[in-house]
A and B are shown apart, each in its own frame.
Chain A
């Protein structure tokens, strides 16, 4: 990549080294990792929903949710292992237990969660040991809440500006998104007379996701443009529309009309997925353009020095910069 046009000599700019990124871009495959962010949320949320359904005496919803959780977590493992450079060495993940590494903590969480989720699903399928199944389900519900939210720390604990800057809001955004997905999936083709827990979770989750997203976007400040531009922008716009629509419909008509409930559910599931893929893309763009890394740090340095913070760059300026250096 050459930043030079026409006859202009390759004179270095004051902001970057020939426009090349400061940090190296994540080597994660979008399908696997963004997919896992979604599936992990769906699994964890579904385990909670299953527990809720169990408590609310909604056995068919519980069954669907337990099976969903089992399936989602299986796909999650598949995605995670596939993304490794050396899949055969997946087991090395258990060499150490590092609280400093969300991926290490997550691996141990998954190792605790998965058996419970499978146990619950197994008892559903086999119809045997309902008591054990209930216990497993409850445990899966509890651990599931962490499985659905630790992934926020997973991506926030990097030097990727769009991910790290929003580390305070991201857990709630992911939590809400997980609830919306699980609830939505429960609504989707769920038994109308048993789907109240799903509907409530969907509405609460959807609302939570929308609020968290607002706070997240505000926190991002000068990095915010990556949420609006390009692929990420399109995905997040769609995600928002789907989540808003899904939430409203679920809240208003989900109880009476099976079809509406189904549509709302589908919208929320799609919205949750698009949110994860959108945030993934936004992170990549914020890493690709050295301006975000440099400008954030320049400001921080000025703030640390207690001097006047530099005038905030408007989204437009940033966008202009991005397009010029992209």
Chain B
């Protein structure tokens, strides 16, 4: 199959579930995480662990504000980031009586992005990672052999290997619950509705309204992240309203699915292989004595 043909199939726009071979799939489901109302309670982290039986992964006081989970991984499928900054947030007044009085405490619950173009899914050699009918990306524990390829392929640093198990784990967007019409555990628990679950299209509309409202309220830093179907991963199934640059939250500023360059790589591999054959021929011919 030609590289471009491959690219066309891989990068087919529209509903990823349809692209993954489901005939008339249900609407694509996802998360909208509005970090402007996150109170950093970590209910999402606990609700996720309780539902999915994710192991407790150690007592490690980091000193990163109130974050002692550090980041997404095999045993942390929801991660709440805490960022303390000397910067202004809308008309939030702290009255710290410091020369530079501005201060804001950003909190944000991170999760697997369930990309439209998911590198982890593309590179998985066993088909353990697959696209569900809801357009989400799930690792099938009964298939995964722990090759680890998906780990560095993910531009967001979501997947990781559970060492004592050998397999790779990440957020499933509660595939089991979606199947019976229930919302994911984290979104259900979230006290302030910072984590919203629903049809991606609806969430995108709601997010647009919300970000505009915040802008009007003077929160000029408010912006959406991962909502754009034209970005490097074709838009995220789990997108965010952020109050600062993505990298401040530990998110990549402009991720691109690595497999977008794969056809080009295959072409180069082909040429390189041919050159190698040529080297062999050259070595043989000249050597005939």
Contacts and interface: CB of A to CB of B under 8 A. Distances in A.
A adjacent to B, CB under 8 Å: yes
A199 to B, nearest CB: 8
Contacts of B12: none
Interface stretch (B22-30, B159-167, B190-198): B159-167
A103 B125 CA distance: 6
B71 A85 contact: no
Interface in B247-271: 247-256, 258-259, 261-262, 264-266, 268-269, 271
B184 interface: no
Contacts of A95: 126-127, 143
Contacts of B264: 167-168
A325 interface: no
Given A149-B269, A153-B266, A85 B276 contact: no
A168 B268 contact: yes
A27 interface: yes
A196 B166 contact: no
Given A148-B273, A152-B269, A11 B280 contact: no
Given A18-B64, A204-B279, A204-B283, A11 B145 contact: no
Given A22-B157, A200-B282, A175 B148 contact: no
B202 interface: no
Interface string B267-289: 01101111111011111111111
Interface stretch (A126-134, A239-247, A290-298, A311-319): A290-298
Contact of A304 (B254, B262, B283): B254
A232 to B, nearest CB: 16
Q: What secondary structure prevails in chain B residues at the interface with A?
A: mixed
A156 B260 CA distance: 12
B123 A157 contact: yes
B288 A56 contact: yes
A92 B269 contact: no
B272 A58 contact: no
Contacts of A103: 123, 125, 147, 149
B63 interface: yes
Interface in B115-165: 119, 122-128, 143-149, 151-161, 165
Most central of B1, B72, B247, B266 by chain A CB within 10 Å: B247
Interface string A89-125: 1101101101111111001000000000000000000
B245 interface: yes
A159 B273 contact: no
A109 to B, nearest CB: 10
A52 B124 contact: no
B265 A156 contact: yes
B249 to A, nearest CB: 6
Contacts of A55: 281, 284-285, 288
A53 B287 CA distance: 9
B65 interface: yes
Contact of B277 (A96, A145, A204): A145
B81 interface: yes
A57 B287 CA distance: 9
Interface residues of B, number: 85
Interface string A162-189: 0010011011101100110001000000
A104 B125 contact: yes
Contacts of A11: 84-86
B276 A10 contact: no
Contacts of B174: none
Interface in A20-40: 20-28
B62 interface: yes
Interface stretch (A41-49, A71-79, A217-225, A265-273): A41-49
A321 to B, nearest CB: 13
A100 B146 contact: no
A173 to B, nearest CB: 9
A229 interface: no
A216 B279 CA distance: 21
Q: Which 8 A-B pairs have the closest CB atoms?
A: A85-B146, A85-B166, A17-B250, A89-B145, A171-B272, A196-B287, A48-B280, A52-B284
29 contacts: A11-B85, A14-B248, A20-B70, A20-B250, A22-B251, A23-B152, A49-B280, A52-B281, A52-B284, A55-B284, A55-B285, A55-B288, A56-B283, A83-B148, A84-B147, A86-B144, A90-B145, A93-B145, A101-B125, A142-B277, A145-B280, A157-B262, A158-B258, A164-B261, A168-B268, A171-B271, A196-B286, A197-B284, A293-B252
